[in-house]
Amino acid sequence: MANFFNRFKSGTPKTNSSNQTPVLQAIPQHVAIIMDGNGRWANEQGLPRTAGHRAGLERIRDAVTLCLEVGVKHLTLYAFSTENWKRPQDEVGFLMNLFEEALMKEVNLLHQQGVRVKFIGFRTGLSPSLVKLMEESETKTANNQSLTLNFAINYGGRPEILNACREIAVAVKKGELDPGQVTEELFSGYLFTAGQPDPDLLIKPGKEVRISNFLIWQLAYSEFYFSELYWPEFGKDALMEAFKYYGRKERRFGGIKRGDTAECIKE
Helix (H/G/I), strand (E/B), else coil: 14: coil
CA 76, 99, 84: angle at the middle one, nearest 5?
A: 75
- Per the rule left: phi > 0, alpha: psi between -120 and 50, beta: everything else, 24 is beta
Q: Do residues 199 and 222 make contact, with C-beta atoms less than 8 angstroms apart? A: yes
Q: Do residues 74 and 30 make contact, with C-beta atoms less than 8 angstroms apart? A: yes
pLDDT tens per residue, range 198-247: 999 999 999 999 999 999 999 999 999 999 999 999 999 999 999 999 99
The domain limits of the chain are 25-159+198-250
Concerning whether 36 is annotated as a catalytic residue, the answer is yes
Helix (H/G/I), strand (E/B), else coil: 149: strand
* Spatial CA neighbour of 152 closest among 180, 111, 192: 192
Measure the CA–CA gap between 34 and 222, rounded to whole angstroms. Answer: 14
pLDDT tens per residue, range 113-168: 999 999 999 999 999 999 999 999 999 999 999 999 999 999 999 999 999 999 99
Catalytic residue, chosen from 6, 84, 144, 213, is 84
Binned at pLDDT 50, 70 and 90, residue 2 comes out as very low
pLDDT tens per residue, range 37-59: 999 999 999 999 999 999 999 99
Catalytic residue, chosen from 36, 150, 154, 200, is 36
CATH 3.40.1180.10 assigned to domain 25-159+198-250? The reply is: yes
Q: Do residues 30 and 198 make contact, with C-beta atoms less than 8 angstroms apart? A: yes
